[in-house]
Amino acid sequence: VSDADLACEKKLRAELKKARPQDEVLGEEFGGEPVTSGRQWVIDPIDGTKNYVRGVPVWATLISLLEDGEPVVSVVSAPALRRRWYASKGAGAYRVWCGEPKRLKVSQISKLADASVAFSSLEGWSERNLLGNFINLSESTWRLRGYGDFWNYCLVAEGAVDIGAEPEVSLWDLAAPSLLVTEAGGTFTNLEGKEGPAGGSAIATNGLLHTKVLDTLGRDS
């Protein structure tokens, strides 16, 4: 945890308290409890802290509003990449980069052999005894790249990547990007196929590949 993480979340919480004093807040650095009724803001002040500290530009501030446990608004801001993504339930997902907002749409790739996969690290797959399964997925697809963290899911929403996968991840990492994916026409579940960002793991796809990915990652290796 960096001083910037703490300062950013503290500032966000202060602004939310002024603007929406009745709403609950859950954040990575100062905690809170997930709620399944009412309104709750879920924030990750810096997703990709290690990148931020080392000067790698892949980091972002993630903010999402949940109503009754479901994301309805999300914003992902990556200033070092000069990009911002946002979505609202039923109104689509957008990216702002060098000009006017662009509405996002997932890819139409339907074969694993043609698909591009984004991931963050191999460590979590090994810890969950799923490394063999993940290697099977990588060998079944066209391309594997470690874009990492939030960017995996933003790229799925943009249609630039077809699959994003992480075996162990928290609600504050997923609440905002999950809405980007679904509003762009994709599917977002955990490894067991449960929809939404609260399942402890993440599989994001264009929808056409989702069952194939779940089957490959769940297969005995």
Residues 201 and 148 grouped into a single domain = yes
The number of distinct structural domains making up the chain is 2
71, 74, 75, 73: which is closest to 83 by C-alpha?
A: 75
Same domain, 163 and 194: yes
Same domain, 76 and 173: no
Same domain, 145 and 48: no
Domain that holds residue 61: 3-103
CATH of the domain at 193: 3.40.190.80
Residues 52 and 137 placed together within one structural domain of the fold: no
Contact 172, 145 (CB under 8 A): no
Which of 49, 76, 103 is where one domain is finished? Answer: 103
pLDDT of residue 89: 98
Same domain (yes/no): 90, 148: no
d(CA 166, CA 174): 10
The set of residues, in sequence order, having a beta carbon less than 8 Å from that of 164 and lying 6+ positions away, is 117, 118, 119, 152, 153, 155, 156, 181, 202, 203, 204, 205
Choosing from 103, 133, 164, the residue where a domain stops is: 103
pLDDT in tens, the chain (221 residues): 789 999 999 999 999 999 999 999 999 899 888 888 999 999 999 999 999 999 999 999 999 999 999 999 999 999 999 999 999 999 999 999 988 899 999 999 999 999 999 999 999 999 999 999 999 999 999 999 999 899 999 999 999 999 999 999 999 999 999 999 999 999 999 999 999 999 999 999 999 999 999 999 986 54
Note whether 24 and 41 are within 8 A (CB).
yes
The reply to whether 128 and 212 lie within a common domain is: yes
* pLDDT confidence of residue 34: 87
pLDDT value for 219: 66
83 plus 118 within the same structural domain: no
The domain boundary, picked from 54, 70, 103, lies at 103
Q: Are residues 37 and 91 both part of a single domain?
A: yes
pTM here is: 0.95
CATH label of the domain that carries residue 20:
3.30.540.10
The pLDDT value given to residue 220: 57
Q: Which residues contact 9 (CB under 8 A, 6 or more apart)?
A: 27, 28, 29, 30, 43, 45
Sign, Cα dihedral of 107, 41, 120, 2: positive
- Long-range contact list for 141-145, CB < 8 A, 24+ apart? 141/112, 141/113, 141/115, 141/116, 141/117, 142/113, 142/114, 142/115, 142/116, 143/115, 143/116, 143/117, 144/116, 144/117, 144/119, 145/116, 145/117, 145/118, 145/119
